[in-house]
């Protein structure tokens, strides 16, 4: 039986060899800078259906954006157009062009589950949350109704992103869901400040970490195992934007997003924002729950060569996510008539930091044009950007976006440093445009 190989798998094994095999470049040379020569691009141009005006800047071993996207969709109740990556547990991402809203609708927010959501949930107002742990001075239990009555409610727009977003681009491949760019969103959340609840229960002087436990069950069916139980240092838990939430965009949380209650710590991997929240632990040690130890949500403390085996003790926990941008308009693969201005827009975010600038390129990063960047709705919300570009002639183009945070840190043009679990890929986003004369 013959096995069909997708273009990502083909390129992952040897990107330069894939270039030679796909585009017939056996005799072509590649400069030390890694850029392919014009004479190598006849087959590629035929596959794309257009010439490539800025071909001399195109890096070798790069899959054209027009060939890298998939529009296969899977219907999940309450979702619209998401791409399924796994069905046990359910994990699904959103194509970039469906993230064009400034406030992400619930129907368009990615799904990242580690276990099985609770099948039966009691009356929403009677859902209870326990606050406990070695460093909790006054352990207590609150119903959702009591939380709503006892503490001041607030609504914030907060960005949330899976730590593995972009994993599909790493080589050697990393195990796990092969996210492309769509494991991110920025809805409005309503709830109470996590710090208000913790302080009401008393925080001991030796408090160090705040962790969660949820009501989801382990895939094995073992009731003694938790599928995930992570947390954040006390300093992050006490930030004004860290919350316990019960609503998204003015409606009760959808079941797949933690109904009826979840923890939310924006700007860090979404795995610290526990769903179906049942227990919060104020701990005097680094939390050691499920997916907190070993190599889960960790990267090498020092840079390593691709494919390197890294010992657990040399891996560091991911905290603030890196600066990143996303092109939400146009959809990759569109055709445009040459002449006039062409609108481009999207979002940018930077973990705990703020985005300072966004720029776009149509010549594979040789030159960049500044985009107009809007301020965030509040701290830890993504920022919207937009610009207009002009194409000098007909042919195949890629629009690349690059963000820089307020610390001066920029997105890498292609790929950041490799890590065993494929976390934190914040390479420039790119979409394909064919320009007709």
Q: How do residues 317-328 score in pLDDT, each as one tens digit?
A: 999 999 999 999
64-78, 135-149, 341-355 — which is least confidently predicted? 64-78
Looking only at the bridges linking them, the beta strands covering 334-337 and 429-436 are parallel
Asked if pLDDT for residue 8 goes beyond 90, the answer is no
Output the six-digit token pair for 352.
Answer: 């705990």
> Is the sign of the CA dihedral 266, 97, 65, 354 positive or negative?
negative
Dump pLDDT digits (tens) for 332-359. Answer: 999 998 888 999 999 999 999 999 999 9
pLDDT band at 167 (very low <50, low <70, confident <90, very high): very high
What proportion of the chain, given as a percentage, has pLDDT over 70? 87
* pLDDT, position 43: 57
Dump pLDDT digits (tens) for 285-312. Answer: 999 999 999 999 999 999 999 999 999 9
Dump pLDDT digits (tens) for 104-118. Answer: 999 999 999 999 998
Backbone angles phi, psi at 151, to 5 degrees: -115, 155
Determine contact, residues 279/212, Cβ cutoff 8 Å: yes
Nearest to 110 by CA among 167, 161, 175, 169: 161
Q: What is the DSSP string of 130-199?
A: EEESTTBSS-EEEEHHHHHHHS-EEEEE--EE-TTTTGGG-SS--SS----S-SEE--EEEEEEHHHHHH
Q: How far is CA 8 from CA 169, 270, 340, 396, in A?
A: 8, 26, 34, 20
Determine contact, residues 287/209, Cβ cutoff 8 Å: yes
The sheet with strand 395-405 has its strands ordered as 334-337, 429-436, 395-405, 355-361, 369-370
Dump pLDDT digits (tens) for 183-237. Answer: 999 999 999 999 999 999 999 999 999 999 999 999 998 989 999 999 999 999 9
Q: Please give the average per-residue pLDDT across 374-384, as a whole number.
A: 98
* pLDDT, position 5: 45
- Measured CA angle at 113 (ends 81, 378), to 5 deg: 75
pTM score: 0.88
* pLDDT, position 22: 58
What proportion of the chain, given as a percentage, has pLDDT over 90? 74
Q: For residue 240, give the DSSP letter.
A: T
* pLDDT, position 32: 31
d(CA 226, CA 350): 30
Q: Please give the average per-residue pLDDT across 363-379, as a whole number.
A: 97
Nearest to 332 by CA among 398, 388, 392, 390: 398
Classify domain 324-436 by CATH architecture: Sandwich (2.60)
Dump pLDDT digits (tens) for 395-419. Answer: 999 999 999 999 999 999 988 989 9
Classify domain 101-317 by CATH architecture: Alpha-Beta Complex (3.90)
* pLDDT, position 248: 98
* pLDDT, position 3: 37
> Is the sign of the CA dihedral 324, 330, 333, 339 positive or negative?
negative
What's the count of helices (H) and strands (E) in the chain, helices before strands? Answer: 7, 26
pLDDT band at 36 (very low <50, low <70, confident <90, very high): low
d(CA 247, CA 102): 18
Asked if pLDDT for residue 389 goes beyond 80, the answer is yes
The sheet with strand 231-233 has its strands ordered as 140-143, 128-132, 277-283, 209-214, 231-233
3-state secondary structure of 67: helix
Q: What mean pLDDT, rounded, does the chain reach? A: 89
Domain boundaries, given as residue ranges, for the chain: 7-63, 101-317, 324-436
Backbone angles phi, psi at 386, to 5 degrees: -155, 155
81-95, 192-206, 253-267, 368-382 — which is least confidently predicted? 81-95
18-27, 60-69, 72-81, 188-197 — which is least confidently predicted? 18-27
Asked if pLDDT for residue 33 goes beyond 50, the answer is no
* pLDDT, position 69: 60
């Amino acid at each position: 039986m013959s096995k069909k190989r997708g273009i990502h798998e083909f390129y992952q094994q040897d990107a330069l060899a894939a270039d030679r095999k796909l585009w017939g470049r056996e005799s072509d040379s590649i400069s030390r800078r890694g850029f392919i020569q014009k004479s190598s691009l006849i087959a590629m141009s035929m596959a794309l259906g257009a010439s490539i005006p800025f071909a001399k800047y195109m890096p070798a071993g790069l899959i054209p954006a027009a060939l890298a996207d998939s529009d296969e969709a899977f219907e999940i109740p309450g979702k619209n157009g998401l791409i399924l990556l796994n069905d046990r547990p359910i994990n699904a991402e959103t194509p970039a062009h469906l993230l064009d809203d400034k406030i992400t609708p619930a129907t368009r927010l990615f799904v990242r589950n580690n276990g099985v959501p609770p099948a039966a949930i009691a009356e929403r107002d009677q859902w209870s949350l326990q606050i406990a742990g070695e460093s909790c001075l006054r352990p207590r239990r609150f119903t959702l109704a009591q939380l709503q009555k006892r503490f001041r409610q607030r609504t914030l727009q907060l960005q949330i992103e899976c730590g593995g977003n972009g994993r599909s681009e790493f080589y050697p491949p990393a195990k796990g869901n092969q996210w492309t760019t769509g494991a991110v969103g920025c809805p409005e959340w309503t709830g109470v400040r996590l710090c208000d609840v913790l302080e009401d229960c008393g925080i001991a002087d030796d408090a160090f970490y705040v962790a969660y436990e949820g009501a989801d069950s382990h895939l094995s069916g073992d009731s003694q195992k938790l599928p995930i139980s992570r947390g954040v240092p006390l300093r992050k838990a006490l930030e004004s934007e860290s919350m316990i939430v019960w609503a998204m965009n003015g409606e009760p949380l959808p079941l797949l997003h933690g109904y009826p209650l979840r923890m939310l710590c924006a700007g860090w991997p979404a795995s610290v924002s526990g769903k179906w929240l049942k227990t919060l632990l104020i701990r005097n040690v680094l939390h050691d729950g499920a997916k907190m130890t070993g190599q889960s949500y960790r990267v090498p403390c020092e840079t390593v060569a691709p494919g390197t085996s890294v010992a657990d003790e040399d891996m560091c926990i991911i905290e603030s996510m890196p600066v990143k941008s996303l092109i939400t308009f146009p959809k990759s693969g569109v055709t445009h008539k040459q002449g006039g201005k062409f609108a481009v827009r999207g979002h940018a975010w930077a973990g705990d930091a703020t985005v300072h600038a966004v720029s776009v390129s149509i010549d594979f990063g040789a030159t960049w044009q500044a985009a107009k960047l809007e301020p965030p709705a509040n701290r830890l919300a993504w920022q919207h950007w937009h610009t207009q570009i002009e194409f000098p002639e007909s042919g195949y183009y890629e629009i690349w976006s690059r963000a820089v945070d307020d610390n001066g840190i920029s997105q890498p043009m292609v790929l950041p440093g490799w890590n065993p679990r494929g976390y934190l890929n914040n390479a420039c986003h790119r979409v394909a445009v064919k320009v007709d004369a």
